[in-house]
Copies of this chain bind each other. A is one copy, B any other.
Amino acid sequence: MLGSMTEQQQKGRPATGGAVLRRRVTEAITEAAFAELAEAGYARMSMEAVARRAGVGKAALYRRWPSKQAMITELIRNKVTGTLPHTPATGDLHTDLRELLATFRSQLANPLLARIGAALLAEASHDDALAEGIHTGVTAPRRAAARAILQAAIDRGELPAGLDLDLGTDLLIAPLAFRMMVTQDSSDDDYLETLTNAIEAALKAATR
């Protein structure tokens, strides 16, 4: 969809004889790339440094991805997409919210993500494929999880039928995401509990 080689493809057996991208090399590159990314940031990171750190030729990188941007893009997308939130369904709105927020918190806590997230978004505004990738792989499933909880609560009568689902989703996701990615503040269990309460109240008032 975005990048090029995924691990499955690396096993694909070509017609005759053949040469296949080696998983060990891919792994070494991936690891090195994340390390460089975390140390230097997207803009300052260099493919040559990644290759050097991975003990690999530059060509090995370019055999896998057509450019620095494509590489970083795909690596991050994979990393984030990998950890999809499961949708809690305890039958109790408060508990569901708490659980979902806790899941988000743990995913956002990934220190790499914090450092990289902004760079990704920045790139996305100049790269439609990346924007689409982020939407499909990251944003959409999380918003879907949030919507599911809200809809279930509406169906149970815990939330008003007139709730604006879109706004409700914003309310649910934004404060925590903003706090962790922009403000870089911590969010302990107390914070989460209070936030859950506040969001719950907000949702009940968010009718159009």
Binding site for B on A (CB under 8 A): 17, 40-44, 57, 114-116, 118-126, 139, 164, 166-167, 170-171, 173-175, 177-179, 181-183, 185, 190-191, 194-195, 197-208
Contact = CB atoms under 8 A, between A and B. Distances in A.
A196 to B, nearest CB: 10
A197 to B, nearest CB: 5
B171 A198 contact: yes
Contacts of A44: 126
Contact of A201 (B114, B125, B201): B201
Nearest to A121: B118
A22 to B, nearest CB: 16
A207 B164 CA distance: 25
Nearest to A143: B183
For the residues of A in contact with B, the DSSP-based class is: helix
Nearest to A168: B198
Nearest to A119: B122
A171 B114 CA distance: 20
A167 B194 contact: yes
20 contacts: A41-B123, A42-B122, A43-B122, A114-B125, A118-B120, A118-B121, A118-B122, A119-B119, A121-B182, A139-B182, A139-B183, A170-B179, A171-B198, A174-B175, A175-B175, A178-B178, A194-B208, A198-B203, A198-B205, A201-B205
B122 A194 contact: no
A195 B174 contact: no
B126 A40 contact: yes
B115 A125 contact: yes
Contact of A178 (B174, B190, B197): B174
Nearest to A179: B170
B202 A171 contact: yes
Contacts of A139: 182-183
Contacts of A177: 174, 178, 182
